[in-house]
Structure 1
């Protein structure tokens, strides 16, 4: 009897320790609050979440920070963005790094193909601010360095620049750092075969990592497929691309992905409609947003015709090159609800 009592007491102590320390450590992080808003779209449709594209490198149309830099990550966190996008590649000796391009020339002081360059060399390559070409003191970061910088502070949208088979490795790294729930991975989906392939990929990645479908209106034409693509993964959001041709007028209705049927599907499925308003270099402004991108909001000074347009059609997540301007406008117009980290 005494032994039973001791076992019960020991068990109760262990439960108390587990619930007091690990749960408290997780629950009091900002990312736990952001995840709540991400995974409960219908409860938070009055709050617009902000994703800093390439870690948020621009202000007023000008590149003022090195993209994919730790400095830009810290700035996005300070601004209050919910998520950053990281472009992931590998060094020649197999280390996961942050780099958008196949080549180092545009964004660093080095030259040559990224995948052919060892980590030791990359650690000598200083990141460059593209607007004026000046070299920063920061060198090419590893993904591990970036994840450590974000832990407990901001979610991470992984833009995989290689083949999908590196994503389980990304997940393993995040898991080792105790932050698998903070990362999101994504793939383009347009038919049942692609859904099946993504399911197999997520089996290899593991259930603690969030998957988001990318749905583009050159291949996805109805709300039923949108519902299927999201429900197949219990996805909390879908990244929606409304393609814009160079000589086309601005969209007037948001296309099929932002139709009334699409919005109804998002509400039934409790998922966010995510729009990308950032620029694609050397392409038409707002190429992924029906011509209503960041340039319209910031350069033309008409945020209602860009960000406001998409919010009116159901968007509750906006990925932008201009997180500072977007967050300021959202706060001014009442689309941001502060995060309470005190309880």
Structure 2
């Protein structure tokens, strides 16, 4: 269910367009965020927040174009540490930012991203989903996204391509002197997949943050969690706590990935535990968070039953569609520290 909020289309278009043309000035904030990311055990009193699709929603409604400069700027201005951006490839081989395989839902164009050259994609204007509001922004490249974020905020890469494309992303980050500006990741569920992750980790190099995605339909043993984090030198582990059937009770313990032994493995490997509370279209609320999703926190007025539940079980990174609400709640609980005070 989505919360109904009426936003005048023209005003929204002006706001999103203006934000994309007036980014915040660069700073060294990204370096401070990176330090907290790679030093989990020194920063467990500070909960980091990741804006899903760069921060496109508020109160359940899309108010900015997803994966847009406007969303990135807003996320940076509200204190978010990382923005999640989805990466695909154009027909002529350029890495571009787009969630879906096709352009239909989020732009004025139609067809598959991979069937369009970058020049053709440049003509596609981003829209605000639901409102179908046009913005002044066009489809842009990963390189442009990195330069736009540089110094202000980290980019969490959601790779929609073959796993080996992560090496290309790493090379791009290195060429832009942004090795501390990105976080790469790969789903790991068995020994073979772990070996692939190790190979990619080796090709990427140790100077770029890389983490596993672990889902509890396949990963249940703390020993495998421990071995994965250790083998990859991972600063974090993104956890998926499945909840597929809305007729079942929501999670009461966080599942095997948030068990005491799993949390001990995270501490032993100096790694953050990361949970996703955003919704997935046409799926039960909180599908990747044991039923404890953003909407539950907002609709019940009890964020402690969602974000607080996971913090109590050792989570120190929350990826959400409601970054402003999460940060405001964390601030009230004393679970955020200013970056301005960091030496």
1:60·1:299 contact (CA, 8 Å) conserved in 2?
A: no
3-state secondary structure, aligned to 2:73: helix
Distance 1:211 1:196 in 2: 14
Partner of 2:264: 264
1:341, distance to aligned residue in structure 2 (A): 6.0
Query: Could you tell me the TM-score, scaled by structure 1's length?
Result: 0.90
Q: Secondary structure at the match of 1:288?
A: coil
Distance in 2 (CA, whole Å) between partners of 1:124 and 1:161 is 22
Q: Equivalents in 1 of 2:341, 2:148: separation in Å? A: 19
Could you tell me which residue of structure 2 aligns to residue 336 of structure 1?
336
Aligned-partner Cα distance in 2 for 1:340–1:147: 23
Q: In the TM superposition, what whole-angstrom CA distance separates every residue of 1:290-321 from its partner, at most 9, and x where no partner exists?
A: 00011111233221111000001110000001
Alpha carbons 1:85, 1:156 under 8 Å: kept: yes
2:210 alignment partner, SS class? strand
Query: Once superposed, what is the RMSD of the aligned Cα atoms?
Result: 1.2
1:48/1:342 Cα in 2 relative to 1: closer, same or farther (>3 Å)? closer
> CA offset at residue 37 of structure 1?
1.1
Equivalents in 1 of 2:34, 2:184: separation in Å? 14
SS for the counterpart of 2:75 is helix
**Is 1:279 the counterpart of 2:279 in the alignment?**
yes
Question: Residues 37 and 111 (structure 1 numbering): CA distance in 2 closer, same or farther, change over 3 Å?
Answer: same
Partner of 2:228: 229
Q: Output the CA distance in 2 between the equivalents of 1:254 and 1:110.
A: 41
Give per-residue Cα distances to partners, 1:249-289, cap 9 Å, x unaligned.
Answer: 11011011111111111112211110000111110000000
Separation of aligned partners in 1, 2:265 and 2:229: 10
Q: What's the offset of the Cα at 1:222? A: 1.4
Structure having the higher helix fraction is 1
Structure 1 gaps of 5+ residues are 1-27
Q: How many pairs align? A: 316
Q: Is the 8 A contact 1:70 1:141 kept in 2?
A: no
1:1-343 alignment runs, 5 A limit: 29-246=28-245, 247-340=247-340, 343=343
Contact 2:31 2:180 in 1 (8 A): no
Alpha-carbon distance, 1:182 to partner: 1.5
Q: Structure 2 regions of 5+ residues with no counterpart?
A: 1-26
Once the two structures are superposed, residues 212-260 of structure 1 have per-residue CA deviations (whole angstroms, 9 ceiling, x without a partner) of 0011000001111111110001111100111002232110110111111
Larger Rg: 1
Partner SS, residue 194 of structure 2: helix
